[in-house]
Copies of this chain bind each other. A is one copy, B any other.
Amino acid sequence: MKNLPLAKVYQLLEPGPVVFLTTAAKGRANVMVMSWHMPVEFEPPRIACVVSNRNFSYAALTATEECVIAIPARGLAAKLVKVGNVSGRRLDKFKAFGLTPLPAARVAAPLVAECFANLECRVIDSRFVPDYGLFVLEVVKAWIDPGQKNPKTIHHRGYGAFAVDGPIIRLKSSKK
């Protein structure tokens, strides 16, 4: 995995891919699936995301205020749905579904080796958690896997249907 400049992080999340969110608390790592996220700042990259208190990861996220957002490409879709269908309460989902946790540099939550990008995050604002489950994260370190060329991300449409990235079009824009 190679360092990714923080100024480029929003380009990964702005298109709306479904992602993994990992946490680690009390010596135990977990991974969930998340689709409700968006950038709120370019640099430092800040991200708003929703993690419900019904998710097992919620307790670890609120206790440690750290997580990793790991972005899967199309080949991980089947594993992703399996991860999303069960709780980590009684299951080591990394082991059960063949995902490889790797140590992160700045947070205790693990990277996911199979993902083409991994974003190490800290919670910087929890004021909106009670009303919306909305956490504001800041990305403190970002990794990209140069071995995965032109990864196609996947976009959840509900009930296990996903749109895979199709053609890329380029239009003349004066904006980020």
* A residues with CB within 8 A of B: 8, 10-11, 14-17, 35-41, 46, 48-50, 74, 77-78, 81, 84-85, 125, 127-128, 131-134, 136, 152-176
Contacts and interface: CB of A to CB of B under 8 A. Distances in A.
A162 B168 contact: yes
Contacts of A172: 81, 160
Contact of A132 (B11, B41, B74, B165): B41
16 contacts: A8-B158, A11-B158, A14-B16, A14-B36, A15-B156, A16-B16, A38-B38, A48-B132, A127-B128, A128-B128, A152-B166, A161-B169, A162-B169, A164-B165, A164-B166, A164-B167
Contacts of A40: 36, 50, 132-134
A132 B155 CA distance: 25
A36 B35 contact: no
A8 to B, nearest CB: 8
Contacts of A163: 15, 153, 165-168
A171 to B, nearest CB: 4
Question: Which 9 residue pairs across A and B have the least CB separation, nearest first?
Answer: A16-B16, A166-B166, A160-B173, A15-B155, A11-B158, A163-B165, A81-B171, A38-B38, A160-B171
A175 B8 CA distance: 31
Contacts of A157: 11, 14-15, 168
Contacts of A16: 14-17, 155
A127 B128 CA distance: 9
A16 to B, nearest CB: 1
Contacts of A133: 40
Contacts of A77: 169, 171
